[in-house]
Amino acid sequence: MAAMKPRTGDGPMECPKEGRSYVLRVPLEGGGRLVVELNAQEVKDLSVVLADTVTGMPKAPAKKK
């Protein structure tokens, strides 16, 4: 039986390498976490998609003082 650990949605987004794969953990707004296991190629593909998304986003307006 697996060790019982408390699970919370608190904590940073992370993607550590565990064995031969990477485990992406994303805290969710309503509590809990989204956990996805990825291989190295999927991590590279995801990074390209996220980079394209971020560079395509409109710039935030400058804050007035």
Domain residues of the chain, as ranges?
14-38
Enter the tokens of residue 64.
């007035």
Residue type, 42: E
Q: What is the mean pLDDT of residues 56-64?
A: 78
Residues 18-56 pLDDT 10s: 999 999 999 988 888 899 999 999 999 999 999 999 898
Q: How confident is the model at residue 7 (pLDDT cuts 50, 70, 90)?
A: low
Angle 57-40-56 from CA coordinates, rounded to 5°: 10
Residue 10 has a pLDDT of 67
pTM over 0.85: no
Q: How confident is the model at residue 57 (pLDDT cuts 50, 70, 90)?
A: confident
